[in-house]
Chain A
């Protein structure tokens, strides 16, 4: 259930509510109603949990430091205003608020909050790469709650899993779908944003550039600090790069194998049709390659074509 001291919770709620109201683009009369409904729910819920609702003093509340409160909650609140929802709906809405206020309180309360494990969602059509990343994250103590190779039902899964971080292949066409979810609030239980800007911190700009070059992009729940996210991104970037190298190695060894097979086949044909022994067949091929300044494999290809035509 709800953790932390009543004061903390109350102030967190209060800060959040205030931020909500500030961000609310609804007309004034709606804002006023919103305010009263929100206060009503807060009182109700706090009473249920035997907290003292009088701790809430909206007048003393400071605006939330991070302005990026996403429209989800705004719309939730709007809907609350319009529909007069059931008690349960109000409570669950507030619990959501509380859940997020925990992240916002991270600085004040980092000892307890940092222990909450972050849940990660991976979206990557390269199954092997996704597995590699998942294993690495597990080793570092992060839980991958959902791994998607097909993005067909991306929206559904984001709504269902509500991950803290989504790591998605930079080149996935579904990034625009995710971007859209950041503004379509009622279908997006968690606000998601690309992290820090290049001008905020040159170091983080460099690491983001490296992430982009590796093909990693990420969306995080608003309010998570860069400090908590960076290790996860670093793990993903390292594995994406590793995967790229593995694939290049595989590619070059496959090429080598294919070339060797061509040379072997040419040798066999020479032995069979020209009655050479193996050493002679090989040296013939090598001499041809040197004379024509071509690769052995290319010469072998020509030899095969000629001998098979005979």
Chain B
């Protein structure tokens, strides 16, 4: 089989964190899509996003699945030394959810069986916090996975739509796999995490999902494939070949939730011990994707790294005082490469949007635009 890119039997190591949305990397490997590009790829499981970031920064990994804000944070030098990183492909959207402990829901006087819309449950939480502050109790403690993740920003977004400021609650970092246990022990009162960890926590009955993050930010980039700028510069053909294989994998995962054969096959792959080790998790092939938490891997406007979404993430960083600076800056042009995406998509015969920026918060006629729960419109004067 002839390949489009000259990669010359390149051996690559790519990193992933055991989550459902690591699927594109695992599918690309198991389906032989990397091999078809002449790439010899080994996948390496990592325990933390910090580890992913450091290993990509120092060339121990050639590329990795990343939470969408991480390439930006790394390029800005937030939380670590500044190392320019870049992405040209969004791997997934959705999959995150906010869970509150059953104990807290009881105090909020919310019936776990019929939870109201996220705005109403947020309001209930706000009222509760108002009473709490008069009684001088321990502050509410919520957890996310990384300070530079969509989870973190989505959790704060939900709180702020309910009129709860970041100062009123304590937000800490907890590894996804430890969330359910910490919720059970009462260390935390709620969390925002990616699948399958919300579903697993709900299975263990210590908490209830109050909202999926797709309800908060609809059609939003969640995981991206990122490499260091150095890798992108030094091995451009190899980079394009990896992107091609991954986009094909995303296409394979298209409509997976309505295709039981594909989900069974995917479950079989993900379940393996070197990937997500699902065997004893209680998660079966038919329950791999939680219908309450929409998750998508492919779409005409989904896989392109919108610079407008990057700008919005920068604004979230600014809101939470992680960073200060102008939103429309050259950095976004370097970190987000929709032009490379278009090149890869065109070679595979997929249509791609011709714009780099769009008005975020406008669903559009095709329904593939983004939408914020509070009706926000986010646009930039270019």
Complex contact A198–B58 (CB within 8 A): yes
With a cutoff of 8 Å between Cβ atoms, the chain A residues found around residue B177 in the complex are 173
Inter-chain contact B59/A209, CB cutoff 8 Å: yes
Contact B48 A180, beta carbon cutoff 8 Å = no
- Count of chain B residues with a beta carbon within 8 Å of a chain A beta carbon: 34
B173 x A181 contact (CB < 8 A): yes
Query: Per a CB cutoff under 8 Å, which of A71, A200, A212 touches B54?
Result: A212
Q: Give min CB distance, A253 to chain B, whole Å.
A: 26
What residues of chain A lie closer than 8 Å to B174, measured between beta carbons?
Answer: 176-177
State whether B79 touches A193 (Cβ < 8 A). yes
A178 at the interface (CB under 8 A from B): yes
Are B79 and A183 interface neighbours, CB within 8 A?
yes
Q: B147 interface residue, CB < 8 Å from A? A: yes
Q: Tell me the smallest distance from the CB of B302 to a CB of chain A, in Å.
A: 26
Interface residue A230 (Cβ < 8 Å from any Cβ of B) = no
Distance of A70 from chain B, by nearest CB (Å): 10
B382 at the A interface (CB under 8 A): no
**Partner of A209 from B58, B82, B178 at Cβ < 8 Å:** B58
Interface residues of B in 119-162 (CB under 8 A from A): 144-147
Within 8 A of A (CB), among B28-83: 46-51, 54-55, 57-60, 77, 79-83
Q: Which residues 321-339 of B have a CB within 8 angstroms of A? A: 321-322, 324
Does chain B have a CB within 8 A of A25?
yes
Please determine whether B171 and A173 come into contact, CB atoms closer than 8 angstroms: no
Q: Is B175 an interface residue (CB 8 A)?
A: yes
Which residues does chain A contribute within 8 Å of B80, judged by CB atoms? Answer: 193-194, 197
> Once bound together, how far apart are the Cα atoms of A200 and B46, in whole Å?
26
Bound complex: CA of A171 vs CA of B50, how far in Å? 10
B178 and chain A: residue at smallest CB distance: A173
Q: In the complex the two chains form, is A197's CB within 8 Å of B81's CB?
A: yes
Q: Is the CB of B146 within 8 A of A179?
A: yes
**At the interface, yes or no: B170 with Cβ under 8 Å from chain A?**
yes
Task: Return the chain B residue nearest A183 by Cβ.
Answer: B147
Checking B55, B57, B147 against A179 with a beta-carbon cut-off of 8 angstroms, the contacting residue is: B147
User: Are A209 and B50 CB-contacts (below 8 A) given A155-B172, A193-B79?
Assistant: no
Main secondary structure of the interface of B (DSSP, over half): loop
Task: Please give, as numbers and ranges, the residues of chain A lying within 8 Å of B146 by CB-CB distance.
Answer: 176, 179-180
Give bound CA distance, A199 to B230, whole Å.
Answer: 11
Contact A171 B51 (CB under 8 A): yes
Is the pair A182, B79 in contact by a Cβ cutoff of 8 Å?
yes
Cβ A194 vs Cβ B173 within 8 A: no
Candidates B50, B77, B82, B321; contact of A176 at CB < 8 Å: B50
Shortest distance from the beta carbon of B46 to any chain A beta carbon, whole Å: 7
- What is the total number of residues of chain A having a CB less than 8 Å from a CB of chain B? 33
| Minimum CB–CB distance for B261 against chain A, Å | 33
User: Which of B47, B58, B77, B83 contacts A171 (CB under 8 A)?
Assistant: B47
- Residues of B contacting A174 with CB < 8 Å? 48, 175
Residues of B within 8 A of A181 (CB): 172-173
- Assess whether A205 is interfacial by the CB under 8 Å rule: yes
Asked if A205 and B54 make an inter-chain contact with CB atoms under 8 angstroms apart, the answer reads no
Given A177-B175, A184-B170, A187-B170, verify A199-B60 contact (CB < 8 Å). no
Whether A257 is near chain B, meaning CB under 8 Å from some CB there, is no
Asked if A196 CB lies within 8 Å of chain B CBs, one says yes
What is the CA–CA distance of A194 and B47 in the complex, to the nearest angstrom? 17
Q: Which of A71, A196, A197, A217 contacts B50 (CB 8 A)?
A: A217
Assess whether B60 is in contact with A212, with CB atoms less than 8 Å apart: yes
Give bound CA distance, A208 to B178, whole Å: 28
CB distance from A241 to the nearest CB of B (A): 15
- Interface contact B175-A176, CB-CB below 8 Å: yes
A72 to B: closest C-beta gap in Å: 13
Residues 255-272 of chain A, each 1 if its beta carbon lies under 8 Å from chain B, else 0: 000000000000000000
Assuming A171-B46, A176-B48, A180-B147, is B173 touching A197 (CB within 8 A)? Answer: no
A212 touches B58 (CB 8 A): yes
Q: 10 additional contacts, CB 8 Å, given A180-B144, A199-B83? A: A173-B175, A176-B49, A176-B50, A179-B146, A179-B173, A180-B172, A183-B79, A193-B79, A194-B80, A212-B60
List 18 contacting pairs A-B, 8 Å CB cutoff, sorted by A.
A170-B51, A175-B51, A176-B48, A176-B50, A178-B173, A180-B144, A181-B172, A184-B147, A194-B79, A194-B81, A197-B81, A197-B83, A198-B83, A200-B81, A205-B58, A209-B58, A213-B60, A217-B54
Which chain A residues have a beta carbon within 8 Å of chain B's beta carbons? 25, 71, 155, 170-184, 187, 193-200, 205, 208-209, 212-213, 217
Return the 10 tightest CB-CB contacts between A and B, nearest first. Answer: A180-B173, A197-B81, A173-B175, A175-B50, A175-B48, A173-B47, A177-B173, A25-B321, A194-B80, A176-B48
